[in-house]
Amino acid sequence: MDLSRLKKRASFPFETIATAVAFSPRLESILAETKRISVLFNTNLVLIHIGEKTTEKEETLDKLIEKIGFDKDKYRIIWMDGDPVDTILKLCKLNTVDLIILGALEKENLFKYYVGSIARKISRRAKCSVLLLTNPSVSPKKFKKIIINGVDNIKTIHTLRAMVYFARYEKTKNITVVQEVNIPTLAMTMADSNTAPEANKIKKELVQEESIKLQAMLDSLDKMDIEVTMKTLNGKPGYAISNYAKIKNADLLVFNSPDTHLGIFDRIFTHDIEYVLADLPCNLLIIHSRV
C-alpha cells in the first residue's frame, strides 16, 4: 500500500466513496443514499461486504444495484472475510477512500455503547471521513439544515473548508457553525478570590476571545453565495450541540475526527463526540483531517 497517497491528503474533494454492505432490511435505502451522494460528487464507488460470498447474496445485491441505477463504470464490489472493523478500515486505506457511508441506529443500548457497534468503532478509528445515516431512505433528500461543531481545534478550519465544498455541491444556502461554551469549566479556571463582577467579566472576555478566533476562521473561507451563521451555546461540549441539532431538526451534524484513538475509558469519561455517538440526534458527518 502506498501510504504516501494518504499523507497530507486534503479532506476534500471526495473522489472515492465506500459503503459497507450488510444484508439487512436497510440495505436498499443505504445503497440509494450512497448512490445519490456518489452522483452528487461524481465519485468512484466501492461497495464492501465482509463475510461469505454466496450466490444468494450476489443475486440480491445485483438486483438492488440494477433497481437503484448504479453506473456500471463507477462502482466495484469487494467481498472479503475477516474482522468487520479492521478489514473495512484496511480496505478504505488500500482504495484511498475519502468518505465511507454507514448505517447507524440512533441510539445504542448500554452494552453496545461500551463495547462499541461496528459503525461507531469505524467512526472512532477511520482515516477518512465518515457519514453515519440514522434514517436512510430509498428516496434520498439533500441535507438542507447543516450544523457544524466550531470547536477551538487545529482541525476545525479544514472541516469548515470541507463543509463549504459539501454545501456548494448540495446547493445548501446556509450552514450554522456552533461554538459551545461550558460555563462551569470556565469558572474553575478563575481564582477563588475573584468577586462576582470580576468573574463575570473574565467569563465574557474568554467567550469573546473564542468567538473572535472562530469568526476569523469563518472570514477566511471562500464562501461564495453560502451564508454561514455563528451560534454560541452554553452547556457541556457535545451535549449542547446535540440537543441544539434535535431542536432545530437538523439533517446533518458535523464534527472533526477524534484527536486520538478513543477507547472504553473515553466513553466512561465522555469526550464531546461521544455524547453524539451514544445518541445520534440526526445524520452525523465526521470530517477526517490528515494534519
Domain boundaries, the chain: 1-138, 142-283
- Asked if the model's pLDDT at residue 108 lies above 70, the reply is no
Mean pLDDT score, 27-50:
97
Phi, psi at 2, each rounded to 5°: -90, 90
Whole-Å CA distances, 23 to 48, 51, 116, 151: 11, 10, 20, 37
From CA 83, how far away is CA 224, in angstroms rounded? 44
- Asked if the model's pLDDT at residue 268 lies above 50, the reply is no
**CATH number of 1-138, picked from 3.40.50.620, 3.40.50.300, 3.30.70.100, 3.40.390.10:** 3.40.50.620
Tens digits of residue pLDDT in 142-162? 999 999 999 988 999 999 999
Q: How many CA atoms lie within 13 A of 280 on its CB side?
A: 27
Cis peptide, bond prior to residue 13, ω within 30 of zero: yes
Residue 112: what residue type? K
pLDDT of residue 181: 83
- Asked if the model's pLDDT at residue 46 lies above 60, the reply is yes
Tens digits of residue pLDDT in 244-263? 999 999 999 999 998 764 44
| Superfamily per CATH, domain 142-283 | HUPs (3.40.50.620)
What count of other Cβ atoms lies within 10 Å of the Cβ of residue 141?
Answer: 9
Q: In what order do the strands lie in the sheet with 75-80?
A: 75-80, 44-50, 16-20, 99-103, 129-133, 283-287, 252-256, 146-149, 174-181, 227-234
pLDDT of residue 187: 55
pLDDT of residue 10: 87
User: Contacts from 86-92 at CB under 8 Å and sequence distance 24+?
Assistant: 87/50, 88/18, 88/20, 88/48, 88/50, 88/118, 88/122, 89/122, 89/125, 89/126, 89/127, 91/18, 91/46, 91/48, 92/18, 92/126, 92/127, 92/128
From CA 29, how far away is CA 138, in angstroms rounded? 4
Q: How large a percentage of the chain has pLDDT more than 70? A: 84
- Asked if the model's pLDDT at residue 282 lies above 50, the reply is yes
